[in-house]
Amino acid sequence: MKAIIPVAGVGTRLRPHTFSHPKVLLNVAGKPIIGHIMDKLISAGIDEAIVIVGYLGDMVEDWLTKHYSIKFTFVNQPERLGLAHAIWMCKPYLSKTEPLFIILGDTIFDVDLEPVMNSPFSTLGVKDVEDPRRFGVAVTDGEKILKLVEKPDTPVSKHAIVGLYFLQQAGLLLDSIDHLIDNKIVTKGEYQLTDALQLMIERGEKFTTFPVSGWYDCGKPETLLSTNKILLKNNTARLKTYTGCIINEPVFIADNAILENAIIGPNTTIGEHAVITNTIIKDSIIGNYAKVSSIMLNHSIVGNNAGITGNPNEINIGDYSEIRLG
Ligand code: UTP
């Protein structure tokens, strides 16, 4: 089955890191966000992916084709007009009758996809949330979805839509998006996938929901760090011994990173070829080739090739930054 993965966005909320890297290539718990997603999809039997690229799309394409051998089609979305528009760009590569799985490129999930892919109906992944006002939600009759409501003011449903969509037939979705685009129906300035799905419901398509208990957002610095913490708990890679260092697991430390006189962890990712000396780091992500010395870092993100030495304890610096304090 084909998966569509939209990753054309700029990732503004993760600047400065997304100035030099597309969001989906940011490292979380030892591999890029999209690596976690691809591993799940492939183990669920996805053998072909249509990846919608835009901002820094060449980097995404390079990384995916180097690391995975399934069939990829890269579709360029030059203008980011919304998720429905992104899916619509894939039209030439889809047959109307084939089933389709759509997953947002910045959502790491933990769910058994096998029953989802075999579902007799179209189905949307949902997670129950206490405050649904920030999400699109699905109102159900206990079995099928009655309607979808984007960011409801009143608590009509707790079932937040999390970015995993299985559709029985691509054609019905594409027809609904055609309708949005032909009639310029936009919500908050974008062609919304939720609007297209709502139209499908109105046109008689039966949708159910499936529960997604593990849903890890990576869209903001604080969620990237909390996702890093959660995913590191599953890291089973064996650690080397580092003389003069204390390692508090869970951590991910790239094999070729150099650690001297350091206390690392818990909940810390150290990237490839990073050099860490005389330093205490916890709850943080340190990029590839970063140099960190004589400092205590907590709840911090240090970009690739960045260097920091001194004594603050909470920072968020992008690739190639150079900071000397104290
Ligand atoms: P987001 O709006 O959450 O991601 O879209 P973003 O735009 O990258 O991040 P911010 O808001 O600027 O910080 C969710 C997913 O849908 C893709 C994005 O790339 C992201 O993976 N998307 C969204 C597209 O591919 N095209 C679009 O037109 C809209």
* Beta-bridge partner residues of 100: 2, 167
Could you tell me if the CB of 86 is within 6 A of ligand 1? Answer: yes
Could you tell me if the CB of 13 is within 6 A of ligand 1? Answer: yes
Q: What is the mean pLDDT of residues 204-231?
A: 93
Distance 211 CA to ligand 1 centre (A): 23
Reading the block at residue 311, the tokens are 């004594």
pLDDT at 312 over 70: no
pLDDT at 322 over 70: no
CATH number of the domain located at residue range(s) 235-324 in this protein:
2.160.10.10
Residue nearest (by alpha carbon) to ligand 1 atom 23: 83
Collapsing DSSP states into helix, strand and coil, what is residue 225?
Answer: helix
Could you tell me if the CB of 186 is within 6 A of ligand 1? Answer: no
CA 161 from chain center: how many Å? 15
Distance 185 CA to ligand 1 centre (A): 19
Nearest 5°: phi and psi at 13? -70, -10
Candidate from 15, 23, 107 with most ligand 1 atoms within 8 A of CB, to mutate: 23
Rounded Cα distance, 273 and 290, in Å: 7
Domain parsing of the chain, residue ranges: 2-224, 235-324
Query: Using only C-alpha atoms, what is the Rg of the chain?
Result: 21
Sorted by sequence, the CB contacts under 8 Å of residue 229 that are 6+ apart come out as: 250, 266, 267, 283
The helix (run of H) or strand (run of E) holding residue 198 is helix 193-202
Residues 187-214 have pLDDT tens digits of 889 999 999 999 999 999 999 999 998 9
pLDDT at 239: 85
Residues 95-150 have pLDDT tens digits of 999 999 999 998 899 999 989 999 999 999 999 988 888 888 999 998 899 999 98
Distance 73 CA to ligand 1 centre (A): 19
Rounded Cα distance, 174 and 93, in Å: 12
The DSSP bridge pattern shows strands 122-128 and 71-76 to be: unpaired
Regarding the domain delimited by 2-224, which CATH topology (the fold level of the hierarchy) does it fall under? Answer: Spore Coat Polysaccharide Biosynthesis Protein SpsA; Chain A (3.90.550)
- DSSP-assigned letters across all residues of 254-312: -TT-EEEEEEE-SSEEE-TT-EEEEEEEES-EE-TT-EEEEEEEES-EE-TT-EEESS-
Distance 255 CA to ligand 1 centre (A): 32
Minimum-distance ligand 1 atom for the alpha carbon of 190: 28
Reading the block at residue 41, the tokens are 């999809």
Minimum-distance ligand 1 atom for the alpha carbon of 80: 28
